[in-house]
Amino acid sequence: MIEKALKYLVGLKEVKVIEVGDSKYSTEPLNYIKPVFDPKPNAQAVSIKTLTGLVDYIKGNVDKIADAIVVHVVSPTRVLAYSELRKDMNRDNYISCEASTPQIMYEQFMDIERFNIMLQACFLQNEHSAAVLKVVGNIKEDNVQNTSDDGVSQKVTAKAGVSTVTEIVVPNPVILCPFRTFAEVDQPESKFVFRMRSGPAAAIFEADGGVWKIYAMQNVKRYLSEKLEGCNVKIIS
């Protein structure tokens, strides 16, 4: 094993770099000093909540930006606007756009009243949501009957008239459309497993493997591409 020592002066300290085989070690901790290609400080991102605000910022050229702007659709609820790479290989972050979406409780059983309110307040209404609301809105205050539960469909006791009750089949899977991306774009529909149990209580479980996120991001990119047509913008997702 051959050892070689090189001496350097850092301030008033003498630093040695010792070679042991193919590895090098210093006798003092060292910090890397980045070369300064562009002394301009990084821009501080402006936080907004809507895609409309992002479009207005870019179209109005609020900060007099001459170069192209890179718009990155990070997720269904987050979009960032950057500068192109600078000489120091960093970017300025001009805009941070975060969607305001309601809190939806998936995979958690809740009482019928809370479930009913959530389904009406946090979802776009369609044929399937109407069917689910019809079921939960007419449940008799008795235990949910699971004797015919085959793992896919359930039968529950619901009021059929003033004093009579009947068994109805709970639809599964259901196609629902929650509010889970920016309000300016179409909300993607996806499959959910709807289940009930004694209490009575109800819950929905996501059943599309997260594919809805891809559709949501494509909708956001499509919206921005249309609204920013002709602008010096590159959109990625």
What pLDDT does 118 receive?
95
What span, in angstroms and rounded, lies between the C-alpha atoms of 173 and 205? Answer: 10
Q: Are 63 and 111 in contact (CB under 8 A)?
A: no
What pLDDT does 8 receive?
45
- pLDDT tens digits, residue range 21-79? 888 877 777 776 666 655 567 778 889 999 999 999 999 988 888 889 999 999 999 99
- pLDDT tens digits, residue range 184-227? 999 999 999 998 887 788 999 999 999 999 999 999 999 999 99
Per DSSP, what are the bridge partners of residue 177?
124
Q: Are 183 and 167 in contact (CB under 8 A)?
A: no
pLDDT at 165 over 70: no
Q: What pTM does this model have?
A: 0.72
